[in-house]
Amino acid sequence: MKINVEIDEDSGFCFGVVYAIEMAESILNETGKLYCLGDIVHNDEEVSRLTAKGLNIIDHEEFKKLQNERVLIRAHGEPPETYKLALENNIELIDASCPVVLKLQNRIRVAHNDEEKILIYGKHGHAEVIGLQGQTNGEAIVIEKFEELDNIHLPKKIQLYSQTTKSTKNLYALRDLLEKKGVEVEFNDTLCRQVSNRDHHLKNFAKRFDKIIFVSGKKSSNGKVLFDACKEVNPYSFFVSSKDELQKDWFTENDHVGICGATSTPQWQMDEVKETILLL
């Protein structure tokens, strides 16, 4: 089958993920061993590649039991309790928190210290959101879906922040909804522009092709947002987390196929998907 395939040059790792992975690989090449608190990136294939090099993924319960070790903090960031525990247990933290996330953490911490009421728009249980809420001693309100507002007693005035990878359209819609409910909103657009700008870029990219193959880990919040952007303009958009999920019947002779991905998608994985399509 003859198929033309093109990979989006602007897809793939954002600078925060690149920084974390380069830091991990540098240490692994040196010592062959490193702990990482949570998946270094929301992409199972990339995690497997790094695990084979000696990266040991641990959760917070395992972290509490460690002593005298080196532990990487991934781009999502961590709450203050993690740093405190590391000091108590003589753990050397290799801090690869994304600078955009660190800046946001600081803004929320300052607002909380000024006794402002804070609402965070983000995914419940997401590592970045846990880190953000931790800046407020767990006092900030977190909502993932707008319907949750119906069950929350909202203060008259609130500072609105967002997980850095949420949808621009939804964040602004949330602000408008809060104002309609009579809440005075101090609005903070804390979205990462590498993500929010990709939304617009990928819509333009997806329009150019017969089919779109979007490559992303299933756990990636950013991947879901960007795939939806593709699907909105091109109904023939397909989500895969590995080359093995490709299906021959998605394609027809002379299709022009575009491949793109999330900020947590490695270039090598998009290359694999392209090679697999060309062999169909």
The DSSP result for 105-135, as a single string, is HHHHHHHHHTT--EEEES-TT-HHHHHHHHT
Cα separations in angstroms, 122 against 66, 119, 234: 30, 9, 26
CB contact set of 34 (below 8 Å; sequence gap of 6+): 24, 27, 28, 54, 55, 56, 70, 71, 72, 94
In total, the chain counts a number of residues equal to 280
Active site residue 88: no
In angstroms, the CA 205 to CA 72 distance is 35
Q: % helix / strand / coil in the chain, to the nearest 5?
A: 45, 20, 35
Cα–Cα distance measured from residue 261 to residue 271, given in angstroms and rounded to the nearest whole number: 11
Catalytic-labelled residue, pool 92, 128, 184, 272: 128
φ and ψ of 144, to 5 deg: -105, -35
What 240-246 contacts at long range (C-beta under 8 Å, 24+ apart), as own/partner pairs, is: 240/213, 240/214, 240/215, 240/273, 241/43, 241/44, 241/45, 241/215, 241/216, 241/217, 242/44, 242/45, 242/269, 242/272, 243/269, 243/272, 243/273, 243/275, 243/276, 246/213, 246/273, 246/276, 246/277, 246/280
Catalytic residues: 128
